[in-house]
Amino acid sequence: MITINFQANLGSEKAAGHENTGAVADASWVGFGLQPVLKAGAASVGARFEYFKDTKGSRTLFANDPSFINFTITPGYTFDNAFTLRAEFRYDSSSEEVLGVPAPGLKKNQSTIALSAHYVF
């Protein structure tokens, strides 16, 4: 069974104040995401692709108008219809060096791995 989820985000703000620089300007942002999920019995594989553009940095607080892309794969398995284990492999990319931890330095790309578990009763 395949489920496909879609989202779209669009917004604007007149005279948005930028917290980091104090500049005031009209700001806008746009984003979208696509999340297909494939289930086969107790196993599942999900994916997510998202794009986000923040003009004037009103949502991300970065003054250089960054855009972001992420791609994620999430394989999972449910035991006895109650206990689910899921892994997440995520890749993020930005048009500017804003990702990561300030020391030793910011970068345009980063990858993360996570493992989650939940029990339904």
pLDDT of residue 16: 67
- Whether the predicted pLDDT of 89 surpasses 90: yes
Dihedral angle computed from the Cα positions of residues 55, 57, 58 and 59, in that order, rounded to the nearest 10 degrees: 100
- The 10s digit of each residue's pLDDT in 23-79 is 667 778 899 999 999 999 999 999 999 999 987 777 777 767 789 999 999 999 999
- Whether the predicted pLDDT of 102 surpasses 80: no
What is the C-alpha to C-alpha distance for residues 46 and 63, in angstroms, rounded to an integer? Answer: 33
Q: Given its phi and psi angles, is residue 108 left (phi above 0), alpha (psi -120 to 50 degrees) or beta?
A: alpha
Name residue 27's amino acid. A
pTM comes to 0.79
- Provide the mean pLDDT of the chain: 88
Q: DSSP strand E in 80-108: where?
A: 83-94
Helices vs strands, H then E, count in the chain? 0, 6
What lies within 8 Å, CB to CB, of 41 at 6+ separation is none
Give the tokens for residue 98.
Answer: 């804003």
What is the C-alpha to C-alpha distance for residues 111 and 72, in angstroms, rounded to an integer? Answer: 10
- Percent of the chain exceeding pLDDT 90 equals 60
